[in-house]
């Protein structure tokens, strides 16, 4: 396929998969439907639409923003440039959260910085008796998260707009989870790959990347029930700093978990 060659030529490793997904998007077909339709000649309109999507990908626009879709924890989510593209690494945070919520339990969980809603919706979907409150300061992100909840028929998530804990003043939860912005303001990665296209407010956590993590750790004890837990995703080199923050805020059983690649990825503690 010519599209695969052009993407490969531009150094895109996932060229075949990308070309298939873009073609499926141009034709409004799933990958399975594409296989059946493989021998069909494209109409001029279809071929123009495919060319347009291919050009966007050749400009390194993230595939998820072009197709508007991304799978996370088995859920098909709508994504737009208003939200961070959900990452596979974040599934570790969901695994750890679910391990703390027995299937039949009615827990109240807080997700801070919900973005597309990926974490809140995954927890809500797997633990339908629990209630999740999902907060974001970006109205555009919340609109996407609400749309995802509706499309998936998930009703046990309440969304609220505001600055971290502000919308839940006086409320306490059994579990608080967050994947906050944690990239340092001058990190050169911000100028590379997908990060160039993603919302700055979803990525940057101040000069050392720890600003949001500091605010969340400091605010969490007042919003946790006795023995409630806080779980935070962070950068691969921020585990030690997070453990110091958590211990300083009085958390116990503080520890860090590694992702499948062995990088420190999630830290947490018990109030």
Contacting positions for ligand SAM (CB under 6 A):
84, 86, 90, 113-116, 118-119, 135-138, 141, 163-164, 179-181, 201-202
To ligand SAM, the closest distance from the beta carbon of 67 in angstroms equals: 17
To ligand SAM, the closest distance from the beta carbon of 129 in angstroms equals: 22
Q: Which is nearer to ligand SAM, 135 or 241 (CB)?
A: 135
Q: Which is nearer to ligand SAM, 26 or 93 (CB)?
A: 93
To ligand SAM, the closest distance from the beta carbon of 79 in angstroms equals: 9
Q: Which is nearer to ligand SAM, 24 or 268 (CB)?
A: 268
Q: Which is nearer to ligand SAM, 75 or 138 (CB)?
A: 138
Give dist(CA 246, CA 134) in Å, integer: 22
To ligand SAM, the closest distance from the beta carbon of 109 in angstroms equals: 13
To ligand SAM, the closest distance from the beta carbon of 41 in angstroms equals: 39
């Amino acid at each position: 396929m010519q599209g695969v060659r052009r993407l490969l030529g531009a150094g895109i490793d996932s060229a075949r998969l990308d070309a298939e997904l873009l073609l499926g998007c141009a034709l409004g077909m799933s990958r399975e439907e594409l296989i059946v339709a493989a021998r069909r000649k494209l109409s001029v309109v279809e071929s123009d639409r495919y060319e347009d999507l291919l050009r966007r990908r050749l400009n390194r626009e993230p595939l998820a923003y072009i197709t508007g879709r991304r799978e996370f924890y088995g859920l098909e989510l709508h994504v737009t440039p208003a939200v961070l593209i959900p990452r596979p690494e974040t599934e570790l945070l969901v695994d750890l959260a679910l391990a703390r919520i027995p299937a039949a339990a009615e827990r109240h969980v807080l997700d801070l910085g919900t973005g597309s809603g990926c974490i809140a919706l995954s927890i809500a979907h797997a633990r339908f008796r629990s209630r999740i409150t999902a907060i974001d300061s970006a109205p555009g992100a919340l609109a996407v998260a609400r749309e995802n909840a509706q499309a998936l028929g998930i009703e046990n998530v309440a969304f609220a707009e505001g600055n971290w804990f502000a919308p839940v003043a006086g409320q306490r939860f059994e579990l608080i989870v967050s994947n906050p912005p944690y990239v340092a303001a001058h990190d050169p990665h911000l100028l590379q790959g997908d990060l160039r296209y993603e919302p700055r407010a979803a990525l940057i956590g101040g000069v050392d990347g720890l600003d949001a993590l500091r605010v969340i750790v400091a605010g969490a004890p007042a919003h946790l029930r006795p023995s409630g837990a806080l779980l935070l995703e962070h950068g691969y080199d921020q585990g030690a700093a997070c453990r110091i923050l958590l211990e300083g805020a009085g958390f116990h059983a503080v520890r860090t978990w590694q992702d499948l690649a062995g990088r420190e990825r999630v830290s947490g503690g018990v109030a």
